Structure 1
Amino acid sequence: MIEVKDMTTGAAAAPDTAPPVLQVQGLTISVRAEGRERPLVSDLSFTLARGETIAIAGESGSGKSLTSLAIMGLLPPPALRVSEGRILLNDQDLTSLSESRMRTVRGNRIAMIFQEPMTSLNPVLTIGLQLAEAIRAHEPISKREARARALEALKAVRISEPERRMGQYPHELSGGMRQRVMIAMALALRPDVLIADEPTTALDVTVQREVLDLLRDLQREMGTAIILITHDMGVVSEMAERVIVMKQGRAVEQGPVRQIFEAPQESYTRDLLAAVPRMGDGSGAPARDGDAAPVASLRDVRVRFDIRGGILSQVTHRVHAVENVSLDIMAGETFSLVGESGCGKSTIAKALVGLVPHQGRIEVAGHVLGGMKSSDMKSLRRDVQIVFQDPMAALDPRMRVGELVGEPLLIHAIGTPEERRERVAGLFERVGLSRDQLDRYPHEFSGGQRQRICIARALALQPKLIVADESVSALDVSVQARVLDLLAALKREFGIAYLFISHDMAVVENISDRVAVMYMGQIVEMGTRAQIFGNPRHPYTKRLMAAVPVPDPTHRRPPVPRLAGEVPSPVYPVGEAPQRLPLRNLGDGHLVADAPEPM
């Protein structure tokens, strides 16, 4: 039996005198399998006071998200159920409520921000309709009033062109924008308790900073209590008063955030904190071979999407997603793209693998994209693989994960069925999964485990270039460290190059050889890791660095002016285009755009 180390003595930050708004007492969540019940969360207890933030940390599969689903009454019956314990919301036991009564609580008194926004939003309803529907489900207001409230909520999370987003569908938004919509939906009703399950996973650091500030504002104005589920220990140190560390369904340690960070009692907690990437730790990473040949080259690449309107549905505007981007990715190099969601990072990734049309020249592994035959495209895709941001949307829910990872081998006719299965089993073990999980379906895994499955599938063909689009954003820090070590080992062993897209600046510093900073579809600064992190020159790059959460509760962030005004947009009328930002070489390949600070 695991002993829980409770370090609540000396907790100055937690509002101890405030009455508890939520009490979890001896919570046990069980799953029924093969005629017997097995506990997935065992004997979890904690209290949450009004206006307090408590963080639940731990590896994927430790029971963090299951706990939040139990509080929301969203455990799928009959497989999962609360077998023991109580969940009290202002002395009302939520576990005893019927589904109809729970619906009046859910979203109104307890709201939740889910981890994967694409699977949480209805794909056939517009953003505005979904927001207004959520508001009208709990408040007797007109459609017009609900729409106005929905628009205010979108503006509060600082999404670009909020009026236009109201009429768009989820697939038309980037991952970060979809997450902001989910946050707006949760904040619109100003609940008593807000459960934030990885609320900033898909957000870049500057928007993450604004969202965290918004959550603090909500607490100050309404006294909202927050349960923060996250693997970002920097966010934990800045937001939480208390921390619960979970492992395999049990709380192994809990206490004030400062004591947990400074003097953890459990070895598991110490390992968890040791795995946290920190800014400044990447200076000693080995440099790449300077004589390597490029595996991918982009020259003046532009990607634009038409917007139609009017009675005749003519093209009236264009989204300038990528504008005049030129870069080289060398063999065996990790080249990172950083910037806000919607800046064009993922669009470049899709253009590299031929998923979106482009202008300009893209050459990958000797193949020039554009007008290629299907046989040439098949050869290209053997050399280039991509790991997408949202693992659940990238995996076929009807296929077993072993079949999903082995599918590239089958398509390219590599090996016998027995050899393919053995190779897939080896890939599972390399990404931290086990052989006995090969025959399971995607929904049986946690978000972090699903992302590891996607990485294993990308590695199956041993490609020359892997495009990793937020490939570790859904992973907790310990698994993230193992996956990053795996990527580095594969780079050394096979000479694989990576285009690494991430909003986690600490991870980027520790893994990258070179870095390009993007803003509004253009590169504003590019250079080696040491140049970008040691001597950032563009104001936007400096703003990205300043927004990174620091995993140290004693760190005090200097006050930064809150951004005001309309968020810049990459949408221009037909015939107009954004101003081109030429890059100036400061020496040794450190390129910077001469431009005033954006935003």
Structure 2
Amino acid sequence: MTLAEAPMAEAAAETVLSVEGLTVSVATEGGLRPLVRDASFALRRGETLAIAGESGSGKSITSLAVMGLLPVNVRATAGAVRLGGTDLLRLPEGRLRGLRGDRIAMIFQEPMTSLNPVMTVGAQLVEAIEAHEPLPRREAQARALEALRAVRLSEPEQRLRQYPHELSGGMRQRVMIAMAIALRPDVLIADEPTTALDVTVQREVLDLLRDLRREMGTAIVLITHDMGVVAEMADRVVVMKDGAMVEEGPVRRIFEAPREDYTRALLAAVPRMGSRPAEAPRPRSAPVCALRDLTVRFDLHRGLLGRATHRVHAVEGVSFDIRAGETFALVGESGCGKSTIAKAIAGLVPFEGEIEVAGRKLHGQGDVTRAVRRDAQIVFQDPAASLDPRMRVGDLVAEPLVVHGVGHREERRATVERLFEQVGLSRAQADRYPHEFSGGQRQRICIARALALRPKLIVADESVSALDVSVQARVLALLRDLQQATGVSFLFISHDMAVVDSIADRVAVMFLGQIVEMGTRAQVFGDPRHAYTRRLIEAVPVPDPTHVRPPRERMASEVPSPVRLRTDPPVRLTLRDLGGGHLVAVG
């Protein structure tokens, strides 16, 4: 019997998992402190239950308690978790280990850290199967291959022989799902399974989970902060805040008539494609940043002699202008060249072609002058990694002023206090350390640091992708306010189409190092002409449970690689103007 033929006819309403009054606490010097308080919910066969909420709400801790995978200093102090008639909280580790993977399985957020880097994909799948079922090796290998086919991984026989680092993020996540379903569990817990994935890969994973539920009758607990994913996938929703359940109900009722203020605020903060009103076109102004035929390539040395046989065509002949006071967005999937352009502007990678910032030309070998660094600042994706944990945040914000010799000590302190107020923080907070702030506050500190030298251009590289939806909304509003107040231009780099739609003036869509479509936000999102642009937009989750997604052809393979033989350069695309500056690739 194949995975797709697994029975699901019996007892569609049967409860397979119930959580009753679960309280999870962490041991501290002052005693036990609850992280999750009195959580209760039930999961029926073939049902998808979404647990939604922001970081720190207790979503993941609840799932780890169900799996018996809590950290050493954290334990369930009250309640019960029943799988069928068995209370998992009362089982010894040996029996619990036997149930994990067999009857209840989990997919984690980051597949690279969940897979053994020194074992092939096939070996890891076979090991997981043999740990629970005493099958002959040949049968276990056949089951592993069947699981990879069930998750629609291209060339499954070849993938069995590959190592995790040889697969893309979407492929690795499919392998994790295959490992979870290989034993046909009753319950599958998916903890933020699409957060780190591009929008098209996210669509494939969500379609896959929906297929598995339908074909195998698997019950799914979906943990996410993406309300678009909740609307598309869930039958019922549990909303959590600060370790407590604040609301529970059918997905349509939660979206159409939320009863709690927190749920309403969470839904109001969700960016929605097409919700931004039309705006009058900006008057043309001199460009703050201009790229002309920008090309970035990296040679790969392979073979016994270490010769440069292949080349990564990261950016291939890209040209665009960023005007004063506008937000220009680059969108596309991982590996399309967005972040490489940001690094080229910052002088972090060598390039060919021309880059001009505030009238100053950059040289292709990365030797960026101090004046250019002053005019162009970068805000990175991870604010925690951008801030020295040993320095006070006030000193971190003042550091660019010190490096460029701007003002004396008292003037720099006054500038820092003004910047803190400008980004919505208090002056007193300047004396704290980075770990004393939330993720959204740390990103605000990074923005204040970028504004310290009054730059003409700020490059925001996935600067809101790691933030909760409400924090994300506040940071985006802050960027808009700062732009109106200071006239700064933004190069906004993101793979989140809904976020880009909410903030950008003009948009360029990139694919394999080249621009395939460029124009105003209304042109690109309201009238997309290139097939790749349409595919990106169609893949965006819609935060409306009544939305019916039209049928589309399922992708069986990953995005093509930018790595090519040195003797086989890519074909340069030609952009044709459809009118009003709406450019679309025709080659």
Please tell me the residue identity of whatever aligns with 1:482.
R
- Over 3 Å counting, the alpha-carbon distance change for 1:150 and 1:486 in structure 2 is farther
What is the CA deviation profile of residues 503-553 of structure 1, one whole-angstrom value per residue up to 9, with x for unaligned ones?
A: 222221121100001112111110011111222111222222222222111
Aligned-partner residue type, residue 260 of structure 1: I
Q: What code does the residue aligned with 2:289 have? A: A
Q: Structure 1 residues 276, 454: CA separation in 2 closer, same or farther (over 3 Å shift)?
A: closer
Partner amino acid, structure 2, of 1:298: L
1:37 counterpart letter in structure 2: L
Deviations 1:439-486 (A, max 9, x none): 5675x88xxx43652452243130432322222223232222111101
Distance in 2, matches of 1:157 and 1:310, equals: 32
Distance in 2, matches of 1:431 and 1:155, equals: 49
How big is each residue's C-alpha offset from its partner over 1:66-122, in whole Å with a ceiling of 9 and x where there is no partner?
2223223333222x3322222223333333345555444445544434345566567
Mapped partners of 1:433, 1:322: distance in 2: 41
Aligned match for 2:15, one of 12, 20, 40 = 20
Name the structure 2 match of 1:71.
66
Q: TM-score, normalised to structure 2's length?
A: 0.84
Tell me what 1:356 maps to.
349
Q: Which amino acid aligns with 1:185?
A: M
User: Which residue does the alignment assign to 2:194?
Assistant: 200
Moved more, 188-197 or 42-51: 188-197
Structure-2 separation of matches of 1:533 and 1:144: 49
Pick from 250, 261, 269: which aligns with 1:267?
Answer: 261
1:554–1:453 distance in 2 versus 1, CA, 3 Å: same
Instruction: Choose the corresponding residue for 1:235, options 201, 226, 229.
Output: 229
Aligned mates of 2:323, 2:336 — CA distance in 1:
23
1:49 counterpart letter in structure 2: R
Q: Distance in 1 between matches of 2:141 and 2:449?
A: 49
> How far is 1:46 from its partner?
0.7
1:184 aligns with 2:179: no
Decide whether aligned partners of structure 1 residues 546 and 432 sit closer, same or farther in structure 2, where only a CA change above 3 A counts.
Answer: farther
Maintained 8 Å contact 1:425/1:438: no
Measured in 2, the distance between the counterparts of 1:337 and 1:434 equals 34
Q: Does 1:539 align with 2:531?
A: yes
Assess, with a 3 A threshold, how the Cα gap between structure 1 residues 131 and 481 changes in structure 2: closer, same or farther.
farther
Aligned to 1:469: 461
Which has the larger displacement, 466-475 or 584-593?
466-475
Which of 237, 243, 247 is the equivalent residue of 1:249? 243
> 1:216 corresponds to which residue?
210
Q: 1:207 to 1:433 in 2, by over 3 A?
A: farther
Task: Report the counterpart of residue 3 of structure 2 in structure 1.
Answer: none
1:471/1:73 Cα in 2 relative to 1: closer, same or farther (>3 Å)?
farther
If the length of structure 1 is used for normalisation, what is the TM-score?
A: 0.82
Name the SS of the counterpart of 2:22 in structure 1: strand
Identity of aligned residues (%): 57
Give distance in 2, aligned partners of 1:357 and 1:73. 49
Q: Does 1:55 align with 2:50?
A: yes
Q: Distance in 2 between matches of 1:461 and 1:417?
A: 20
Contact 2:348 2:366 in 1 (8 A): no
Amino acid at match of 1:562: R
When residues 491 and 221 of structure 1 are mapped into structure 2, their CA distance, relative to the original with a 3 A threshold, is same
Task: Call closer, same or farther: CA 1:392–1:220 in 2, change over 3 Å.
Answer: farther
SS in 2 for 1:316: strand
State how many pairs are aligned: 565
> CA-to-partner distance for each residue in 1:145-173, whole Å, 9 max, x for gaps?
76994897499465899969976775x88
Q: Which amino acid aligns with 1:515?
A: V
C-alpha separation between the residues in 2 aligned to 1:425 and 1:81?
45
Does structure 1 conserve the Cα–Cα contact (< 8 Å) formed by 2:289 and 2:322?
yes
Q: Aligned pair 1:557/2:546, yes or no?
A: no
| Deviations 1:565-598, CA, capped at 9 Å, x for gaps | 6753322212111111110111221111114xxx
- The 2-side partners of 1:427 and 1:16 are apart by 58
Q: Aligned in 2, Cα 1:400/1:248: closer, same or farther, shift over 3 Å?
A: farther
Does the 8 A contact of 1:400 with 1:438 survive in 2? no
Secondary structure (helix, strand or coil) at the match of 2:466 reads coil
Call closer, same or farther: CA 1:161–1:500 in 2, change over 3 Å: farther
Gaps of 5+ in 2: 1-9
Partner of 1:6: none
Most deviating of 485-494 and 200-209: 200-209
Give the corresponding residue for 1:299.
292
Change (3 A) 1:151 1:564: same
Report the equivalent of 1:486.
478
Structure 2 vs 1, CA of residues 512 and 565 (structure 1 numbering), >3 Å: closer, same or farther?
Answer: closer
Query: 2:37 corresponds to which residue?
Result: 42
Alignment partners' CA distance in 2, 1:309 and 1:143: 35
SS at match of 2:130: coil
Q: Secondary structure at the match of 2:38?
A: strand
Conserved in 2, the CA contact under 8 Å of 1:465 and 1:498?
yes
Q: What amino acid does structure 2 have at the position aligned with 1:547?
A: A
- After superposing the two structures, state which structure 1 stretch, 214-223 or 468-477, moved more: 468-477
SS of the aligned residue for 2:479 comes to helix
Correspondence 1:588 to 2:583 = no
